[in-house]
């Protein structure tokens, strides 16, 4: 029986080698109609059921400036110029096919393993199929090269004859020279070299179709060919020898990734099942997108339209980097953010100059990075820059007062760019909410550090908070489902009065900033009507297990990683089941190669395309953050342990562990493992040097299990939690 694929069989570990992949047949595709019967309950199965139908995956190295991408058909995508061009603008693409009447269809595509971006693609024809093995190399003496191995095999016959095709579409002229294609002219850079003779079959105007020779292919003797794509302008002589050694090159790439460690320093993780797979893949996604910019390692959002620094995305990516143990690199990323401050005190990046919130977010990031590093020297050093930023934001409040707008009348920041689906300069809340979070963070930190220079900042925070809360009470709206909620767009905006309901704002549009002001911003108490309205709204608009129509696709679309924002709010609010189902929905919108497009259509939509970069690493970061927070969640002065662990996490019977994970209370180690005898689970907790939390809580019930004992620390029951002595450095608990 053929092994199942990751798409068709939930729970199957897709770590494969090329031989195993090539041995598989079309059984996977044939089994898909029975998918529903094979699934676990919808609220627990992670099976990629909402994967986009079009995608791309990075297979380059960490910190690689050559952001090589492979599409869902095994096509290579090169040269995206970055922000300012569409998501499909690739000056060079290379596609692979077979000659003949039919266009092949993709039977499957997968990674060798979540941490090994060797990409296997199988494309089926009626009488034959071919597999592509795509991987990067950086061999001594060769430099950086992309490689594609092609194998053709029969399906129903014992023997077939087939001719492989290579289509090169370029915005520059392609000139064929011998067995290699060059760009521009015969003296231009080498584009490709192959181990078979290629002849020009046709010219598409923007490129050419090259045909290999007609060859025999049998089940036990497939037709094989190998193509190489130099990335550093190498000449033919440097790469020619490697054409005869595809297996050696593949083994070298595999060895690099098998030896690569996604975690830095003393940090380590061990998570069960799909959660562990996603953790490994997301760490890889983040580091593949990173590169050196202006002398600093810069954590970038993606490899194409978001190849650069965004302040809000960067906050969460830098926090994830700390959770993965990349401390020095995260500090470089923080400095890269603050290096963008201008003479006025403002900080802007990819969001544009009306993104007033970026300055507040940069302040929030400064504090969070100091908390996680337990080093406040950089925060102290940056005091003049922070106070200049505060004065700039106070000026934006004063500018608002001079406007003839609701923002000015309320006394909050001037009208600005909402983002996350809210375009233009509008009367809105997103900028003020994030600035409140930033001001709260820096003023509370300054208070703990006894820095008197922040008194004006504290006063500004208090004034802005009072004004914003009054404005929010006045701007609440009634939802048709019978609850009150706060829209991010104010009532005076003329779009609310559009003649067609279709053209009016969605209530959930741009709620991203409110989610983050709730958590991690901690601008609100749990029982605040704004929080209650927000959680009710996110539940009311859920489709495909995640909040829908929250972003730039206002009709029949989903902003994938926005689901993780909502899941964090649910987790913080104590709605663990809702957090779990929403986070699972988020994972199920990834591709089987463990990455996300920013936005995609709902499955039944007839309206939309795709929005944003891919792999989108704010999504990768949110995945890492939630996986840590389901084990250990910092809630202001409180540390909440295992808030996201329930029966569905325990069902796998495998440990969940995070070792030396940074928190504002020092590094903590959490290990939850099944007991060998008598069933049950044990939690081992340890905290290294740092300020003691105000409280440490863990659940009395862990799924269907009840706390059976706790040793090593004093404790007391409190409702549905156990309060553990917060100054205890290590202890253990058992549930049965």
Answer for the pair 550, 589: CB distance below 8 angstroms, yes or no.
no
Q: For residue 647, give the CATH number of its domain.
A: 2.60.420
Over residues 518-545, the mean pLDDT reads 98
pLDDT at residue number 524: 98
Reported as a single tens digit per residue, the pLDDT across 599-648 is 999 999 999 899 999 999 999 999 999 999 999 999 999 999 999 999 99
pLDDT at residue number 676: 84
pLDDT bracket for residue 417 (50, 70, 90): very high
DSSP readout, 172-185?
Answer: S-EEEETTEEEESS
Reported as a single tens digit per residue, the pLDDT across 143-168 is 999 999 999 999 988 899 999 999 99
What length is written for the chain? 736
pLDDT at residue number 184: 61
pLDDT at residue number 157: 83
Q: Is 14 exposed, middle or buried (0-12, 13-18, 19+ CB in 10 A)?
A: buried
pLDDT at residue number 535: 98
- pLDDT of 10 > 70? The answer is no
Residue finishing a domain among 259, 280, 298? 259
User: How far is C-alpha 385 from the geometric centre of its chain's CA atoms?
Assistant: 30
State percent of the chain over pLDDT 90: 85
pLDDT at residue number 201: 81
Over residues 526-552, the mean pLDDT reads 98
Which tokens hold the place of 205? 């105007």
Reported as a single tens digit per residue, the pLDDT across 366-395 is 999 999 999 999 999 999 999 999 999 999
pLDDT at residue number 298: 87
Answer for the pair 603, 544: CB distance below 8 angstroms, yes or no.
yes
Cα separation, 411 vs 399, in Å, equals 10
Reported as a single tens digit per residue, the pLDDT across 244-258 is 999 999 999 999 999
Residue carrying structure tokens 């003049």:
384
* Domain contains 47: no
* Domain contains 403: no
Over residues 263-275, the mean pLDDT reads 96
Which tokens hold the place of 290? 């990173």
pLDDT at residue number 156: 81
pLDDT bracket for residue 293 (50, 70, 90): confident
Gyration radius of the chain over CA positions? 27
Over residues 72-98, the mean pLDDT reads 95
pLDDT at residue number 6: 35
Beta bridge partners of 211: 165, 199
Name the residue with higher pLDDT: 571 or 204.
571
Reported as a single tens digit per residue, the pLDDT across 101-128 is 788 999 999 999 999 999 999 999 999 9
* Domain contains 89: yes
Over residues 696-719, the mean pLDDT reads 96
Residue finishing a domain among 259, 283, 311? 259
Minimal CA–CA distance to 243: which of 194, 190, 177?
194
Q: For residue 117, give the CATH number of its domain.
A: 2.70.98
Q: For the chain, what is the domain count?
A: 2
Cα separation, 421 vs 513, in Å, equals 11
Cα separation, 392 vs 442, in Å, equals 15
- The CB density around residue 2, as the number of other CB atoms within 10 Å, is 12
User: How far is C-alpha 390 from the geometric centre of its chain's CA atoms?
Assistant: 30
Q: What is the DSSP letter of 97?
A: E
* Domain contains 667: yes
Identify the domain containing residue 195 by its residue range.
Answer: 63-259
* 67: Cβ contacts below 8 Å, ≥ 6 apart: 58, 60, 80, 288, 289, 303, 304, 307
- pLDDT of 32 > 60? The answer is no
pLDDT at residue number 33: 29
Residue finishing a domain among 240, 259, 278? 259
pLDDT bracket for residue 203 (50, 70, 90): low
* Domain contains 9: no
Reported as a single tens digit per residue, the pLDDT across 640-677 is 999 999 999 999 899 999 999 999 999 999 999 999 87
pTM of the model: 0.93
SS (H, E, C) 664-715: ECECEEEEEEECCCCCCEEEEEEECCCCCCCEEEEECEECCEEEEEEECCCE
Answer for the pair 373, 327: CB distance below 8 angstroms, yes or no.
yes
Over residues 335-355, the mean pLDDT reads 91
Residue carrying structure tokens 């490709």:
192
Q: Give the SS3 label for residue 169.
A: strand
- pLDDT of 551 > 50? The answer is yes
Reported as a single tens digit per residue, the pLDDT across 218-247 is 999 999 999 999 999 998 889 999 999 999
Reported as a single tens digit per residue, the pLDDT across 568-601 is 999 999 999 999 999 999 999 999 999 999 999 9
pLDDT bracket for residue 38 (50, 70, 90): very low
Dihedral of CA 284/288/290/292: which sign? positive
HSE (side-chain half, CA atoms, 13 Å) at 277: 25
Dihedral of CA 302/305/307/312: which sign? negative
* Domain contains 481: no
* 240: Cβ contacts below 8 Å, ≥ 6 apart: 193
* Domain contains 434: no
* Domain contains 213: yes
Minimal CA–CA distance to 120: which of 154, 153, 148?
148
């Amino acid at each position: 029986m053929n092994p199942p694929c990751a798409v068709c069989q939930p729970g199957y570990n897709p770590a494969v080698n090329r031989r195993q992949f090539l041995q598989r047949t079309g059984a996977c595709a044939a089994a898909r109609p029975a998918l529903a019967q094979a699934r676990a309950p919808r609220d627990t199965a992670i099976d990629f059921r909402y994967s986009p139908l079009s995608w791309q995956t990075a297979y380059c190295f960490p910190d690689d400036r050559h952001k090589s991408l492979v599409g869902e058909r095994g096509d290579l995508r090169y040269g995206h110029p970055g922000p300012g061009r569409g998501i499909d603008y690739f000056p060079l693409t290379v596609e692979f096919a077979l000659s003949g009447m039919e266009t092949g269809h993709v039977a499957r595509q997968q990674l060798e393993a979540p941490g090994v971006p060797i990409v296997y693609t199988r494309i089926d024809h009626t009488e034959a199929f071919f597999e592509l093995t795509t991987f990067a190399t950086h061999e001594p003496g060769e430099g950086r090269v992309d490689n594609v191995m092609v194998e053709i095999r029969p399906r129903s016959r014992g023997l077939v004859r087939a001719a492989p095709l290579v289509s090169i579409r370029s915005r520059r002229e392609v000139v064929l020279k011998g067995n290699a294609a060059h760009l521009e002219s015969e003296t231009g850079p080498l584009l490709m070299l192959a181990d078979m003779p290629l002849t020009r079959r046709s010219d598409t105007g923007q490129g050419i179709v090259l045909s290999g020779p007609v060859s025999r292919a049998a089940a036990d003797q497939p037709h094989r060919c190998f193509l190489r794509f130099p990335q550093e302008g190498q000449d033919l002589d440097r790469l020619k020898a490697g054409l005869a050694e595809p297996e050696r090159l593949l083994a070298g790439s595999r060895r690099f990734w098998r030896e690569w460690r996604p975690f830095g320093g003393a940090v380590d993780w061990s998570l069960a099942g799909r959660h562990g797979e996603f953790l490994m893949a997301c760490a890889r996604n983040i580091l593949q997108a990173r590169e050196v910019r202006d002398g600093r390692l810069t954590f970038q959002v993606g490899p194409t339209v978001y190849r650069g620094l965004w302040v809000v995305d960067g906050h969460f990516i830098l926090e994830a980097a700390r959770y993965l143990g990349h401390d020095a690199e995260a500090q470089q990323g923080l400095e890269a953010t603050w290096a963008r401050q201008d003479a006025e005190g403002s900080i802007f990046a990819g969001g544009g100059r009306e993104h007033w919130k970026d300055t507040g977010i940069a302040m929030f990031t400064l504090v969070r990075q100091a908390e996680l590093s337990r080093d406040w020297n950089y925060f102290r050093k940056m005091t003049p820059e922070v106070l200049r930023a505060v004065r700039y934001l106070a000026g934006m409040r004063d500018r608002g007062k001079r406007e003839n707008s609701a923002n000015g009348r309320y006394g909050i920041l001037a009208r600005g760019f909402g983002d996350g689906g809210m375009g233009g300069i509008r009367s809105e809340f997103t900028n003020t909410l994030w600035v409140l979070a930033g001001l709260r963070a820096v003023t509370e930190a300054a208070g703990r550090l006894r820095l008197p220079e922040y008194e004006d900042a504290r006063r500004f925070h208090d004034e802005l908070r009072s004004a914003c809360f009054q404005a929010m009470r006045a701007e609440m709206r009634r939802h048709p489902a019978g609850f009150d909620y706060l829209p991010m767009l104010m009532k005076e905006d003329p779009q609310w009065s559009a003649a067609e309901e279709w053209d009016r704002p969605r209530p959930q549009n741009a709620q991203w900033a409110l989610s983050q002001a709730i958590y991690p911003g901690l601008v609100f108490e749990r029982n605040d009507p704004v929080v209650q309205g927000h959680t009710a709204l996110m539940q009311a608009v859920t489709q495909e297990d995640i909040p829908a129509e929250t972003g730039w696709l206002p009709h029949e679309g989903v902003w994938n990683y926005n689901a993780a924002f909502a899941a964090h709010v649910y987790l913080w609010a104590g709605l663990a089941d809702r957090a779990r189902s929403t986070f699972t929905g988020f994972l199920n919108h990834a591709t089987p190669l463990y990455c996300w497009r920013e936005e995609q259509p709902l499955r039944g939509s007839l309206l939309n395309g795709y929005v944003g970069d891919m792999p989108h690493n704010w999504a990768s970061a949110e995945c890492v953050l939630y996986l840590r927070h389901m084990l250990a969640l910092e809630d202001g002065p409180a540390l909440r342990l295992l808030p996201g662990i329930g029966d569905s996490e325990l069902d796998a019977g495998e440990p969940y562990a995070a070792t030396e994970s940074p928190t504002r209370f020092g590094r903590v180690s959490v290990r939850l493992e099944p007991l060998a005898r008598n069933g049950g689970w044990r939690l081992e907790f340890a905290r290294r040097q740092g300020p003691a939390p105000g409280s440490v809580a863990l659940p009395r019930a862990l799924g269907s299990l009840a706390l059976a004992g706790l040793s090593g620390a004093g404790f007391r029951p409190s409702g549905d939690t156990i309060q553990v002595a917060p100054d205890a450095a290590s202890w253990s608990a058992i549930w049965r």
